[in-house]
Structure 1
């Protein structure tokens, strides 16, 4: 595997060199306490070491999708790679946790861009975008507002004017999956193997956008409901995907 295609930089290589007995990998999936990572040797299933689990104080101390980690490969006794440490994060997209420790939960790490997705139908909500913008700016990544379902919008100039009041200095991309519009603009943010995340309410079209960028149906999609003009929730997990044209989402 060429980890450069997964966002590897010279700085990460230099940091990883401090641990010569371990192997560099990037977390691509998380399923509770189990992880999938990509290393030069390929895809590995992994878990954190006992020491790691013992010394972690908060949920944010554990690996998240997008993290660069140092692992040891599977052995005959253990069929899973062992994660020993997380390399310093350049950004961390977080949301508040329901627990009492107030530590929050990391949605994804080491992002370059956060795509804040919102549909241009009856679900349009400027205040919601404003909240997502706050989360994105606090993450350390660059926010980009992605307006979906433009084919359903009859008052685009008005909605753009409403957004301009809360999105000063933020790029806005208008998309329509049915009309195949907006994908080329989105691909500009994945140049040079940049890592992007898609956030937004259920049913705004995140899965459809990712399928379009991937050039295949990676995630299931559903039509909007006729009774309230809202989309249907289809995707319930986080995953790092390598785009065929470069970049990760």
Structure 2
């Protein structure tokens, strides 16, 4: 009788050991699965964080673009062309043609910051300044450059005038040529008895002028219009 009980106990012991081994194996599998779940969770959290950051960046970009679209753009009234430059006048077709040629040229361009919202090509530089004139140069070797989009701001006795003034309309600079803006040039002063003095360069704010900028003598991007002062 005692021997029978011992055999039953041994069988139960063996069964319990087998069950324990199976439980240990299942525990290892569950632990492995739990580790995989944790790893997937961390990966998903990282992805979620990246998506949130990207969404915030996209929202900021959309807001900036909306501000640019709603920003006021200066409206310039038509101005007559001075006789001294009338021979160089161009129509809209030649302007579009010169811009098309410019697109084919290997030019340098930059995306500018908050005060330079547009992409401008770097062809025009200020080659010389003088109390009575400013010399602009077309640095391109094969592109004609129209000056219609370049502006002069005017300050008289420390007070800004009503609007910026365009250069004479229809001025086309052949490749590697220069154009001198005199103090008496139409659109440069319009103030008899005063002379134009180059004061400094200034940004165009959030305007939508494109394709043109003015560089300094070292070729550094400066602005798309020149701020001038007038004195007796």
Q: TM-score, normalised by structure 1?
A: 0.21
Higher relative contact order (CA 8 A, sep 6+): 2
- Tell me the TM-score normalized by structure 2: 0.22
CA radius of gyration, larger in: 2
Higher fraction of helix: 2
